[in-house]
Amino acid sequence: MKEDQIKRRTLLRAAAVTALGSLVPGLSARRMPEAAPEDPTKVPGTPVGKVGTRSPFEQPQKKASDISARSPLQDFYGIITPSDLHFERSHNGVPRIDPNRYELLIHGMVERPMVFTLKDLKRFPALSRIAFIECSGNFRSGKTNMTPQEICGLTSQSEWTGVMLSTLFREVGVSPKATWFLAEGSDAAVMTRSIPVRKGWEDAMIAYAQNGEAIRPEQGYPARLFLPGWEGNTNVKWIRRIELSDQPFMTREETSKYTETIKGGKIRQFSFDMDARSIITYPSYPQTVEKGWIEIRGLAWSGRGKISKVEVSTDAGKHWQAATLQEPVLDKAHTAFRYGWHWNGDTTEIMSRAVDDTGYTQPTLKQLTNARGTDMGGYHLNPVTAWVIQRDGTVLFKPEKFR
């Protein structure tokens, strides 16, 4: 009787997997056997193919809401986010753009207003840079059963390739009097941000490639603005127009959104830099651990420079020890850290804090509310994140109240 039930359940599951295979593109094209053979050396393997696939035993996924999809930070190894797991935020969907019809217009306070096709952009010197992009509204809290993905999954890292904006600025002859430029996307929100010209000269890029291939539609295909270390929203995707000016345009995304209330009823605007932050991704909810040696692992990053140190506490913040930083430690980039810990089986809290090369130390939520007031807005929150390790080995997020 019991055996029958199991069989039926297994059959149902197999049917479900098959149905899934026909729904998810790619899965059905080169479907792997539903169960691995007892001995893989005794049966021929899957033939070579045109596009590789993830093992069916690995199912990392973005967690999507109506407006954004979060990266599964807890599933990542190393520092590169697989392109199909890069977080997403769009303001009216992902546009479909024909690369052959794509054009970037640069005008306004320039000597020569010009139009660049995608092919044009690719003819300029091509530079690559590994750096993160993080949405400035990247802190969720409120319950104990939250994963790193749910708490701060709106950050991802890629190798971006493109042409430096400074090269295009020279090509059009940007006026020395220009102080701001408008970056405009060709999505259904025609999303725009005003960016100080100095960032354009410093390290801004028009990126057309991501992790070795054309940039993904969700990340701005065929070209996006890439501003290392600056809040995600300023990295305008599907960029179609850049207008040089001597004043900011005060668009909706830099006034009614992406501004934050701070102490004294004030509202902070043009908060571009992403402050240093870290999170332990192992162990984290809903993982479980066993008594003995545990390698605590996580990611740290800063929009202001390199991570110079990550400290880990395994006793609820009473003592802090330096974690090992995994090379490469790059400028404005996710940096992996690890810390060997022997857990004696008692309930405790573990947490990490990042320090960047400006000397900035990732604050606690209390430090943030002290600085900005309890009415502080939801952008640019980068608090130390604690996990509670319970006696039975379960791990829970420790949410803190601040409003």
Partner 1 sequence: MRWNQVNYRRENISVWTCLLVMVISCNRSPERFGIGRPATQHEIDAVNISIAPDGKGLPPGTGHVAEGRALFIAKCAPCHGPTGTEVPQYRLVATPDDTTHTRAIGNYWPYATTLYDYIRRAMPFNAPGSLSNEEVYHLTAFLLYSNQLIDSNRVISARTLPGIVMPARKWYVNDDRRGGNEVR
Positions touching partner 1 (CB under 8 A) are 91-92, 105-107, 112-117, 120, 123-125, 167, 170-171, 182, 184, 188-192, 240-241, 243, 245, 247-252, 255-256, 259, 262, 265-273, 275, 304-305, 356, 358-361, 363, 367-368, 370-372, 375, 380
Nearer to partner 1, 52 or 125 (CB): 125
Minimum CB–partner distance for residue 360 and partner 1 (Å): 5
Minimum CB–partner distance for residue 288 and partner 1 (Å): 34
φ/ψ bin of 220: left (φ > 0), alpha (ψ from -120 to 50), beta (otherwise): left
Measured CA to CA, the distance from residue 152 to residue 383 in angstroms comes to 10
DSSP of 80-121: PPPGGGS-EE-SS-PPP--TTT-EEEEEESBSS-EEEEHHHH
Nearer to partner 1, 149 or 271 (CB): 271
Minimum CB–partner distance for residue 176 and partner 1 (Å): 15
Cβ-contact 124, 167 below 8 angstroms:
yes
Q: Report which of 139, 82, 75 is spatially closest to residue 287, judged by C-alpha positions.
A: 75
Nearer to partner 1, 60 or 317 (CB): 317
Nearer to partner 1, 164 or 289 (CB): 164
Minimum CB–partner distance for residue 304 and partner 1 (Å): 4
Minimum CB–partner distance for residue 243 and partner 1 (Å): 6
Identify the burial level of 6 via C-beta atoms within 10 angstroms of its C-beta, where 0-12 means exposed, 13-18 middle and 19 or more buried: exposed
Nearer to partner 1, 240 or 297 (CB): 240
Nearer to partner 1, 106 or 209 (CB): 106
Task: Name 388's bridge partners.
Answer: 349, 396
Measured CA to CA, the distance from residue 48 to residue 58 in angstroms comes to 20
Minimum CB–partner distance for residue 280 and partner 1 (Å): 21
Structure tokens at 268: 């902070």
Location of structure tokens 């004030």: 266
Minimum CB–partner distance for residue 143 and partner 1 (Å): 20
Minimum CB–partner distance for residue 180 and partner 1 (Å): 10
Minimum CB–partner distance for residue 79 and partner 1 (Å): 21
Measured CA to CA, the distance from residue 226 to residue 292 in angstroms comes to 44
> Can you give the C-alpha Rg of the chain in angstroms?
23
Long-range Cβ contact pairs of 315-321 (< 8 A, separation 24 or more): 315/348, 315/349, 316/348, 316/349, 316/351, 316/386, 317/349, 317/351, 317/364, 317/384, 317/386, 320/353
Nearer to partner 1, 231 or 294 (CB): 231
3 state SS of 166 = helix
The one-letter amino acid code at 252 reads R
Minimum CB–partner distance for residue 139 and partner 1 (Å): 15
Nearer to partner 1, 297 or 353 (CB): 353
Nearer to partner 1, 230 or 343 (CB): 230
3 state SS of 11 = helix
Nearer to partner 1, 224 or 380 (CB): 380
What lies within 8 Å, CB to CB, of 64 at 6+ separation is 70, 88
Cβ-contact 249, 194 below 8 angstroms:
yes
